[in-house]
Amino acid sequence: MTQRTATTDSSYVRIFDTTLRDGEQSPGCSMNLEEKLRVAQTLQEMGVDIIEAGFPAASNGDFEAVQAIARAVDRATVTGLCRAARGDIERCAEAIKPAKHKRIHTFISTSPLHMKYKLQMEPSRVLELIESSVSLAAGLADEVEWSAEDGSRSEHDFLCRAVETAIKAGATTINIPDTVGYTTPDEYHDLIKMLFDRVPNIDKAILSVHCHNDLGLAVANTLAGIRAGARQAECTINGIGERAGNAALEEIVMALKVRNDRMPYTTGVDATMITKASRLISTITGFMVQPNKAIVGANAFAHESGIHQDGMLKHAGTYEIMTPASVGLTKSNLVLGKHSGRAAFRSKLKELGYDLGDNALNDAFTRFKDLADKKKDVFDDDIIALVDDEVRDH
């Protein structure tokens, strides 16, 4: 499997997974070391290019987890997050040392609001810290990523200067987070394009997008950033992350696959591992995936209405835009409920090994509809009981 960020393919989008850092920051999502290692192995197996394994200066536990992942992962690049401070950067460098491919990811805020209230720093001081932090990191790892926290709410002139400073100091990936999930697809597209148009030497770096989901736009904004030229997308499995979460890896990957006609970009992710990765994360964190969640929700490939089931039995393309197999599921699920029709009922009976004549089928179908009116979920065992009664009565 090809991994690593070096590629000559200009349509290749690097997948930077931050499930273990930004994802783990969501309340109630913390994982222990053994769990983090299982997640990292799965991410590597599925072809993620960069794994953000944690925030080494945050705690000893985080440091140890990043170090253990750095030892275990050999194909993907391993990175850890750090503030623009010597102590953080050195701690991160130490944690990722065993990795075959090491990246330090350092960040500082660039928006007026964050600089004034959070950092309480003048913009000129922020520029100094960008220069010193990136230069320090560049001497301690194979590559440096620099992030402009709250980048989407930063003033354009200042953001351009900050990005230029980071590139001059040695950053080879420049990430522009929509930290609070505030931007819109058009605006974010224009912001990324503006950086390409205005920052000198921007071609020396890969531009990266990192979107939060406060307005439910994280994936749309990520795709807009890619369309504008970004070639790294930061995301998490199941979209877990601070507040409303981060852009969901599975949605980005499948959007690029399914709509490759409109978005001709590729990733190295083996999409057939998506379901496995999603289940692993929800089992470990205890965070259930909402049933109607795109790609990995329990209902993503389920059909209950009679009209849809009839269409599905004739041609799956009528109501599915991707196959269940493409994301690692064995088959679609024709759910039997009060909206289901005779065709799906007959098909279910066949699957269960029954071959009823027309009259028996009609009677069984009437009983099934009565049952479905009273019962929210009709399981295979209910159908079996119902048909056995039908057979016994005749």
For the annotated binding site for Mn(2+), the residues are 22, 210, 212, 246
Taking CB under 6 A as the criterion, the residue among 16, 63, 107, 265 binding ligand KIV is 107
Least distance in Å: CB of 210 to Zn ion? 6
* Alpha-carbon dihedral sign for residues 368, 378, 312, 262: positive
Q: How far is CA 270 from CA 45, 153, 257, 325, in A?
A: 8, 34, 11, 12
- DSSP letter assigned to residue 115: I
Q: Residue 12 pairs with which residues in a beta bridge?
A: 266
Chosen from Zn ion, ligand KIV, none, partner binding at 149 (C-beta under 5 to 8 Å by type): ligand KIV
Chosen from ligand KIV, Zn ion, none, partner binding at 368 (C-beta under 5 to 8 Å by type): none
Least distance in Å: CB of 212 to Zn ion? 6
Tally of residues, the chain: 394
Cβ proximity to ligand KIV, 246 vs 275, nearer residue: 246
Cβ proximity to ligand KIV, 36 vs 153, nearer residue: 153
Q: List the x/- string, 12-31, binding to ligand KIV by CB under 6 A.
A: ----------x---------
Name residues contacting Zn ion, limited to 6-65 (CB under 5 A). 22
Contact between 337 and ligand KIV by CB under 6 A: the answer reads: no
Taking CB under 6 A as the criterion, the residue among 147, 222, 232, 267 binding ligand KIV is 147
| Token pair 């690692």 in the structure block, residue | 328
* Amino acid residing at 147: S
The first and second tokens of residue 243, run together, are 């507040």
Chosen from Zn ion, ligand KIV, none, partner binding at 221 (C-beta under 5 to 8 Å by type): none
Alpha helix ranges (H) inside the chain: 33-46, 60-72, 86-96, 112-113, 123-138, 156-169, 185-198, 218-227, 249-258, 274-285, 306-314, 342-351, 358-374, 380-393
The first and second tokens of residue 119, run together, are 């950092």
Chosen from Zn ion, ligand KIV, none, partner binding at 147 (C-beta under 5 to 8 Å by type): ligand KIV
| Token pair 């690593």 in the structure block, residue | 4
CA-nearest of 65, 61, 1, 5 to 37 is 65
Cβ proximity to Zn ion, 17 vs 22, nearer residue: 22
Please identify, among the stretches 26-34, 175-183, 271-279, 361-369, the one whose residues bind ligand KIV according to the rule CB under 6 A. 175-183
Q: Using CB under 5 A as the criterion, which residues of the chain lie in contact with Zn ion when the complex forms?
A: 22
